[in-house]
Amino acid sequence: MAREGTTDARIRVLLLLDQLSGGGAEGYAIGLATGLDRQRFAVAVCATRYGDDPDVVALLEKHGVELVRLGRGAGSKLDVRAWLPLWRYLRENRVDVVNSHKFGSNLWAALIAPLARVPVLIATEHTWSFTGDRRRILIDRHHTARRATAFVAVSEADRRSLVDVVGVPAAKTRVMPIAAMTPRPVPTRDRAAVRGELGLGTAFTVGTVAYLRPQKALDVLLRAFALFRATHPDARLVIVGDGPEEGRLRLLASELGIESALTLVGRRRDVPELLLAFDAFALSSDYEGTPLVIHEAALAGCPIVSTNVGGIAEVVPDEECALLVPPQDPAALAAALERVADDPEQARTRAAAAREGVASTYTPGRVITLWSDLFEELVARSR
């Protein structure tokens, strides 16, 4: 990034993240950083915590994105001094825009960016339940929203929650679509090979991809699958991902008598191939923003059954592109799975519509254009 006294007229943008990898929010932000036009933007990424993903570091270097490390450990969570290097960087490089992602980074950006005299701060909320945590609501309302130039949500449903629940002024809110920002791995194996690896044979297979945490309500999926298996006794369930709920889910599967039909494969990098093996993709989350895995399932042509939360219906409308059900309703989820299994022709029609919609609308190029326009608009307004 240009320092004072240079003739570089590009807009200087720093994206602030907790870490370089870990989930959809991190991948989205890294894809944005590497996709911005270098003729218009000088880009840096600040990862606030220890731990580098070598693949992400190499990707940033390849695209000329400067990486700023703070190296905060668990013991420095509330240590303001750990943030001094970022404050100095913002001042010395005369950064025009700080774009923070997720609650913690939004909180600290709202403190540091104004002190460093950064003219534009864009906080990005990648979703949460918007219930229960009064402290978080108050911090977002009275701290982050007051100091932010704009508060971005990743779905219209979340934007409404920012306004109605958190109390962010509507004029400050924006919606930015989600897309798979980095190139999807091209499958090197076909459906038969993947099903062979997983030992699925010809069984109707329900699959999901998730970090195993309470938000994903995978206990609801297990209960729904147990109901579904009463009418489809040979069906299989595959869960891709790891996380703190794994032990509890294994115990519940045993209690429900479905442990022999359940396969937990852990965290995998070949998700596009695994999706080819599923006859239905199921998402049982209690809340979401706009989960990237819905895009991936749609692009794989996999029939989608999901809870109707967050921005999912904005991406795959109910009945037209997917079957959407209320959260915390195993019976409704099981009934939707039965519709997919019992009417495969209609399921393929919905899957084709979902694939066409996602492929034509939720593209990295469109996302980068929208963000670029927002950066330029807010910087111009600040001058």
Dump the DSSP string for 200-245.
-TT--EEEEE---SGGG-HHHHHHHHHHHHTT-TT-EEEEEB--TT
Mean pLDDT value of segment 244-256: 97
Q: Are 278 and 347 in contact (CB under 8 A)?
A: no
Beta bridge partners of 239: 208, 264
pLDDT tens track for 163-217: 999 999 999 999 999 998 877 777 888 999 999 999 999 999 999 999 999 999 9
Cα-Cα-Cα-Cα dihedral sign, residues 180, 23, 127, 68: negative
Q: Are 357 and 367 members of one domain?
A: no
Residue 285 is part of a domain; what is its CATH number? Answer: 3.40.50.2000
In a domain, 185, yes or no: no
In this prediction, what percent of the chain has a pLDDT beyond 70? Answer: 95
What is the reported pLDDT for 209? Answer: 96
Domain that holds residue 103: 11-179+363-382
Q: Are 291 and 223 in contact (CB under 8 A)?
A: no
What is the reported pLDDT for 314? Answer: 95
Q: Is the pLDDT of residue 382 over 70?
A: yes
Q: Are 164 and 23 members of one domain?
A: yes
All residues at 6 or more sequence positions from 279 whose CB lies less than 8 Å from its CB, including other chains: 204, 205, 206, 302, 303, 340, 341, 344
| CB atoms inside a 10 Å sphere around CB 128 | 19
Q: Are 204 and 157 members of one domain?
A: no
Q: Is the pLDDT of residue 2 over 50?
A: no
Parallel, antiparallel, or unpaired: how do β-strands 205-209 and 41-49 relate? unpaired
In a domain, 18, yes or no: yes
Cα–Cα separations (whole angstroms), residue 320 to 36, 278, 284, 303, 351: 34, 20, 19, 11, 9
In a domain, 279, yes or no: yes
53 pLDDT band, cuts 50/70/90, is confident
Q: Reduce the DSSP state of residue 363 to 3 states and report it.
A: coil
Q: Are 168 and 223 members of one domain?
A: no
Parallel, antiparallel, or unpaired: how do β-strands 236-240 and 262-266 relate? parallel
Mean pLDDT value of segment 21-35: 87
In a domain, 4, yes or no: no
Q: Are 368 and 334 members of one domain?
A: no
Share the mean pLDDT of the chain: 92
Q: Is the pLDDT of residue 3 over 50?
A: no
What is the reported pLDDT for 72? Answer: 65
Tokens 């309703």 found at: 329
112 pLDDT band, cuts 50/70/90, is very high
Q: Is the pLDDT of residue 281 over 60?
A: yes
Mean pLDDT value of segment 335-348: 98
What is the reported pLDDT for 306? Answer: 98
Q: Are 31 and 163 members of one domain?
A: yes
Q: Are 354 and 207 members of one domain?
A: yes
- The count of structural domains within the chain is 2
